[in-house]
Structure 1
Amino acid sequence: MIDRSGSLLATVRTALDASPPAVAEPGTLRLHTLFSIPRQVKSLFPLAHIHPTDLEYNKKAASIGALEEQIFVTASWVPLAKDDVEGAVEATKAGEGGETRPSKETARDRSAPLLILAMELYLYTIPELGSAVLYVSKLDSSGYGPKTIPTPLREALSRQVFADKDTKFGNTLTATLSSAVTQHFTSFKHWDATSQSSSSVQVSHLSVHILARSQRAYLFPSSPENKDKKVLSDGGLIKWWRAVMSDVVVSSRDETSAVRKTAKSKGGAIDARAFYVIPGYSKMESHPLVPLVREADSSSTASQAGQVLKQAKWNYGHPYSSGGASCPESDLPPLPLHWQSSSFVLSNSDTEKDKVPTNPDASDYDPRRVRTVPTLMPHFSDDPKTRFLDEMARDAHEHSGWKKKVANGTSEPKAPGVTNEEKENGIESELDVSSFKGEAISNGTKRPAEDSTDDSQSEKKVKTDIPTTSSSSGVPLVTLRAQMRERQSMDDLPIDEFWERMAFRQECCSGNAVGVLVILFTRLPPSSSASSGTTVERQPLSLPYKVLGDLVFKSLMKDSCEWNKVTLARQLTESWFQGVDREVRRKGGLAQWKQEVGREEDELATLVGRGTIWADFVLNGPTKEQLDKSKKEAETKQNGNSTGTTAPGGGANMLSVKRKKKPAA
């Protein structure tokens, strides 16, 4: 039988029960959580293993491999009448018990479900280092979600809606779901749920990366034309993500939080450090756009959201250097390739921190341990930082090539890492980077255009004479040399200067403010006797990477998908449900899943995977009468307070503006 207590759906259910979202009407939430089958990639830190000057080292060095999983979460909504809530709850519980009968349909006959939220994430697990990287790629809403209870009314309505007086309405539905999905990984439940297998990876560090860039639509084309969709401004989106991740940070630190109490983990403290930066804005310049956290606020006067924001202890800057993190060198933030030497881990172990050699000529130089751009900045798809790194790699080949100093002070072209055998064969004098680009260089200057025929002959000679053998890792030597040049160029760029130059990128200087959030979660690693595995278990009913990507594009993101029209949106929602069901039956390992769950589920009319990849959640909300009554009471209270401040005689007790007298002529 499959243990579902550590699944993403179980984490979301725990979060919804602990802090019900503040929806202004009751309804049924259907959540889909789809995973792709883990696949091996080497693009997360492509140059971290490359020695900038030693070709022999690079021939034997292995690139840093990561196991990539794409995660796609969708939520749909069906409003319910208050009388139908109890019946829907009972039907949902009956379906989770293993029965395949559908839930009560009296309320659902009134309206079909509508997709209200979609979220795309990429998870990279690095087995070799026991770390992981979570990239929140896209988050979008369609505008068809339930309205939210105003913040001043939530406490009063909680007493009316919930029988349990300790249960209170929490955040908005979008914020609650985004926080719950992220916290599933920051609490390390994703890896601990399958840690019984000896080959499973044991992860002790997770870096969460979010790019807060306001766009009208990410996953629902034409949805901005829906008048109910609210598109946040640049500053509003950064503030929103900072508030959501503040809740994740505080909950992950607290071992008594609802999610961590239900986690099948080893327990212990989790160190969480949160950073955000807006490229192009200094700390004080960012304040009008995204207000800084007021440390002087007292807990009695600050709101609950303000208290959580304060407890998260945000740092304005980036975690990649002591200057960016505003900390001493001995307290550098933990990162995927460097977390084992962080102060949090070292202070709780007997291991001493070794000094990292930064001179490439040193015999014990390890390119992966040096804190430079290639070892600090992960590569993601559709990310401005990655595009900048790719341009830097291309620019490394635009200069005059590698040069070595000679006795008379001049320099001559030299390819990186040329071996003695190649020198003896005369290859050194014929090989330089210009031969890769179709340019010949002589004494640091380009040849005239009329020598193009000689260039082509030289190119042919180089291709003929260069050995076609590869390194022990299977990478051609020409490719290794190109990577060495890219690594050397990036090592020469200080990480703080990288962020200064990011401010001049088109994405950050075209009138838009872009927020970069990096949150680091670290727990103590297991004892040295415990061996870490090398594989990530496949999630039940997970799909191949390409199948999941094609399904998302065809069902949601095509230009023909018109999410601004309610009728078409209902059809697209149903098409999404059927498309997921069809692909899971074809490519999701359905036969093995049936065997593991211990029951047959052959009815074609039933969507497979209930409780595994999808589930229904009934959310309580106030009736229209309760909401209107609370609004009137709040207005009456507000009017009473304003009346109490009026001066005798009926006039408002307001201070007059003291006008400046004109100077005498």
Structure 2
Amino acid sequence: MTLRDALLAGLNSLPGTREFHLHVLVSSPRKHGNLFPFANPRPRSYLQDILILLSEQTTPDSSPVFVSAIEACVYNIPTTSCAILYVSKVDSTGQATAPSPTPALVRALLLFYADPATRPISANHLWIHVFARAQNQYLFPNSSEYPNKRPLSDIKLCAWWKRQFSTVVGELATRVGDICRTKLYYILPGLSEFEAHHSLERVYPSTGSCSWTYGHPYSQDEIPLPCPCPSGGDSPRHLGQCIPSFDDDPKSRFIDEIAYTTDADGVRSPERKRARADTLKTHEEDISSADASEKKEGRSKKEDQTLKEVKKVSVEEFWERMSFRQECIAGAVTGFFVIAVSSTARPASTLTTSEVSPLAPQAGQVSSQMNKRVLTSLLTAHEFPSVEKAVWSTKVIEDTIRGLCDGLKSNPLPLVIADRSGRQTPEPEPIRSTLAPPQTPPPRLVNGKRPIVDISPNPFPEPVASLETYHSYIYGTIAVKNRPPPTKEDGEATSAGNGRPPIITVLTARKKRTKS
């Protein structure tokens, strides 16, 4: 089962009558060396980008309009047989028919990677990370101006995520039974366990049997952590080997501040002055070699100092200090959620892990540049403050995705027949009706030379999407025809939903008699 089919199956049970159009872009794996930037040595990891766009069409005559979007990343660490699913952004336009399809879409995505039978990565352990921070809009610009969009507040957003994770873990246990072992962790910086529990329970009371732990998962040893311990487990892990680094994440920014804002003790040595022009050539060579060795020593000393600063802070101290970070307590409650899923047995496959490279692209995957191009266009060239603008933006982006898969075929330019009359006056060139094809910019040079990249090139070429890829893996549609959800008026018109009129008891106030 592909990710597109799993998401469509998750939308099939929504109440009401409507049609959904789904676009799923999953990039091919590429090398990524900054998942644990302060681990020495850095573990090999591979990154995939995920972009999910969902549009809704209420009637056959109406135009589809975007209603939900998800941006996520998947990291594969073969050394520890771990994978990390980081859900970066989830947003809606507020223009969907109630109930919103966003919760069903999120649960289908999480369940697709949590279930070992459908997980497309060869990993026995999955870690799901979410940073919940309430904002008016994430992926749909100006969608907060739409009157019917009601963004969740800080506490409601954290409670919403906790409810989605509890539902996914409960459904996963129903599917696989005892094959998977799950652990759920959450932290609301600035709140104690008692305050966090009662704040979330007041919004969405717990109905399942999921056991949540208030704290971080880096002290447990039942499920392996993604970053391997180079010492073989003899010495405790330091901060750089526990917490992964994601884009737009407060944890990553805080670790960077710990590592780079503290200078070394003592007085710095002055920089070496430039050599005189009249010195001998041999002396210049000696100086250049000395400068190179000093630069190398300075670089290694700086790296040692950075690692030393990271090792000074324990994991418990890190989370305690996170409670005082401005972006975590600046008038709004934020939440960190981590879900660990460990499977004892993986489904049998015809190929062993050693025969399949983690960089090998799978069927239906697109290039990372295509994913980035669509996301950049969504964030910078479109807006969703009204239905009219949302319909236009939806059509442009959906046509762009199809055009990128079709190779952006355009109408050929008319042929210009050469004039053989002997005239010397040059004719004006015909006006181009299409934009010039994109070209790769020249390589960036540092001191006249190409910079040395610390990651070796990908031996596999970037996948080229086609119309077959578009129809088989990227685009999908489903028509939902279920019973409409019960309205508020229907619930008030009956008593306990049994169809009988409610029993109304009128209480009258007894008048107090006064003595004459």
Question: Unmatched 5+ residue regions in structure 2?
Answer: 277-285, 408-461, 511-516
Residue of structure 1 equivalent to 2:171 = 251
Change beyond 3 A, Cα 1:13–1:280:
same
CA deviation digits over 1:241-282, x for unaligned, max 9?
11111111122233358xxxxxxxxxx611110111101111
The separation in 1 between residues aligned to 2:264 and 2:55, in whole angstroms, is 54
* Residue 290 (structure 2) aligned to one of 438, 447, 465: 465
Residue of structure 1 equivalent to 2:444 = none
Q: TM-score, normalised by structure 1?
A: 0.60
Residue of structure 1 equivalent to 2:390 = 569
**Partner SS state of residue 610, structure 1:** helix
Residue of structure 2 equivalent to 1:10 = 5
The separation in 2 between residues aligned to 1:46 and 1:378, in whole angstroms, is 8
The separation in 1 between residues aligned to 2:224 and 2:275, in whole angstroms, is 46
* Residue 319 (structure 1) aligned to one of 189, 211, 217: 217
Residue of structure 2 equivalent to 1:175 = 103
2:325 is the alignment partner of 1:505: yes
**Partner SS state of residue 31, structure 2:** strand
Change beyond 3 A, Cα 1:628–1:250:
closer
User: What's the CA shift for 1:288?
Assistant: 4.4
Question: Does the 8 Å CA contact 1:278/1:514 hold for their aligned counterparts?
Answer: yes
Question: Does the 8 Å CA contact 2:89/2:139 hold for their aligned counterparts?
Answer: yes
The separation in 1 between residues aligned to 2:396 and 2:80, in whole angstroms, is 41
Question: Unmatched 5+ residue regions in structure 1?
Answer: 1-5, 51-62, 81-106, 149-171, 193-200, 258-267, 294-302, 323-330, 342-353, 359-369, 402-433, 441-453, 471-475, 595-607, 655-665
2:116 is the alignment partner of 1:188: yes
The separation in 2 between residues aligned to 1:64 and 1:459, in whole angstroms, is 42
2:434 is the alignment partner of 1:578: no
Trace 1:64-79 onto structure 2 (pairs within 5 A).
Answer: 64-79=43-58
The separation in 2 between residues aligned to 1:137 and 1:10, in whole angstroms, is 22
Change beyond 3 A, Cα 1:497–1:635:
same
Residue of structure 1 equivalent to 2:182 = 272
Question: Does the 8 Å CA contact 1:279/1:514 hold for their aligned counterparts?
Answer: yes
The separation in 1 between residues aligned to 2:287 and 2:493, in whole angstroms, is 85
CA deviation digits over 1:364-396, x for unaligned, max 9?
xxxxxx422111000001111001111112124
Trace 1:516-555 onto structure 2 (pairs within 5 A).
Answer: 516-524=336-344, 531-532=353-354, 533-554=356-377
Trace 1:110-189 onto structure 2 (pairs within 5 A).
Answer: 110-148=61-99, 172-189=100-117
User: What's the CA shift for 1:190?
Assistant: 5.4
The separation in 1 between residues aligned to 2:290 and 2:465, in whole angstroms, is 54
Residue of structure 2 equivalent to 1:384 = 250
2:128 maps to amino acid: V
Change beyond 3 A, Cα 1:641–1:634:
closer
The separation in 2 between residues aligned to 1:72 and 1:214, in whole angstroms, is 20
1:239 maps to amino acid: A
* Residue 475 (structure 2) aligned to one of 601, 614, 624: 614
Question: Does the 8 Å CA contact 2:495/2:502 hold for their aligned counterparts?
Answer: no
CA deviation digits over 1:114-157, x for unaligned, max 9?
00001000100012221111110000001111112xxxxxxxxx
Change beyond 3 A, Cα 1:459–1:585:
farther
User: What's the CA shift for 1:512?
Assistant: 1.3
Question: Does the 8 Å CA contact 2:26/2:49 hold for their aligned counterparts?
Answer: yes
2:335 is the alignment partner of 1:515: yes
* Residue 507 (structure 2) aligned to one of 640, 648, 651: 651
**Partner SS state of residue 306, structure 1:** coil
**Partner SS state of residue 393, structure 1:** helix
* Residue 282 (structure 1) aligned to one of 184, 192, 211: 192
**Partner SS state of residue 312, structure 1:** coil
1:520 maps to amino acid: A
Trace 1:335-350 onto structure 2 (pairs within 5 A).
Answer: 335-337=225-227
Residue of structure 2 equivalent to 1:264 = none
Identity percentage of aligned residues: 25
2:245 maps to amino acid: H
Change beyond 3 A, Cα 1:530–1:38:
closer
Question: Does the 8 Å CA contact 2:183/2:340 hold for their aligned counterparts?
Answer: yes
CA deviation digits over 1:6-42, x for unaligned, max 9?
210222233344xx124xx310011111011211010
The separation in 2 between residues aligned to 1:498 and 1:72, in whole angstroms, is 32
Question: Does the 8 Å CA contact 2:43/2:227 hold for their aligned counterparts?
Answer: no
Question: Does the 8 Å CA contact 1:77/1:145 hold for their aligned counterparts?
Answer: yes
The separation in 2 between residues aligned to 1:139 and 1:378, in whole angstroms, is 20
**Partner SS state of residue 216, structure 2:** coil
Change beyond 3 A, Cα 1:477–1:73:
farther
Change beyond 3 A, Cα 1:569–1:466:
same
The separation in 2 between residues aligned to 1:215 and 1:513, in whole angstroms, is 11
Question: Does the 8 Å CA contact 1:29/1:77 hold for their aligned counterparts?
Answer: yes
The separation in 2 between residues aligned to 1:503 and 1:279, in whole angstroms, is 4
**Bigger mean CA deviation after superposition, 138-147 or 124-133:** 124-133
Question: Does the 8 Å CA contact 2:36/2:227 hold for their aligned counterparts?
Answer: no
Question: Does the 8 Å CA contact 2:28/2:367 hold for their aligned counterparts?
Answer: yes
The separation in 1 between residues aligned to 2:200 and 2:470, in whole angstroms, is 42
The separation in 1 between residues aligned to 2:171 and 2:335, in whole angstroms, is 23
1:493 maps to amino acid: V
**Partner SS state of residue 252, structure 1:** helix
The separation in 2 between residues aligned to 1:388 and 1:284, in whole angstroms, is 26
- Measured on the aligned residues, the alpha-carbon RMSD in Å equals 3.5
User: What's the CA shift for 1:291?
Assistant: 2.4
The separation in 2 between residues aligned to 1:291 and 1:135, in whole angstroms, is 25
The separation in 2 between residues aligned to 1:217 and 1:375, in whole angstroms, is 33
User: What's the CA shift for 1:188?
Assistant: 3.3
Question: Does the 8 Å CA contact 2:50/2:71 hold for their aligned counterparts?
Answer: yes
User: What's the CA shift for 1:337?
Assistant: 2.8
1:394 maps to amino acid: Y
2:396 maps to amino acid: S
Residue of structure 2 equivalent to 1:557 = 379
The separation in 1 between residues aligned to 2:202 and 2:237, in whole angstroms, is 29
Where is the helix percentage greater, Structure 1 or Structure 2?
1
The separation in 1 between residues aligned to 2:275 and 2:207, in whole angstroms, is 66
Q: TM-score, normalised by structure 2?
A: 0.77
Trace 1:41-80 onto structure 2 (pairs within 5 A).
Answer: 41-50=32-41, 63-80=42-59
Residue of structure 2 equivalent to 1:589 = 464
User: What's the CA shift for 1:355?
Assistant: 7.7
Residue of structure 1 equivalent to 2:233 = 356
Change beyond 3 A, Cα 1:496–1:518:
same
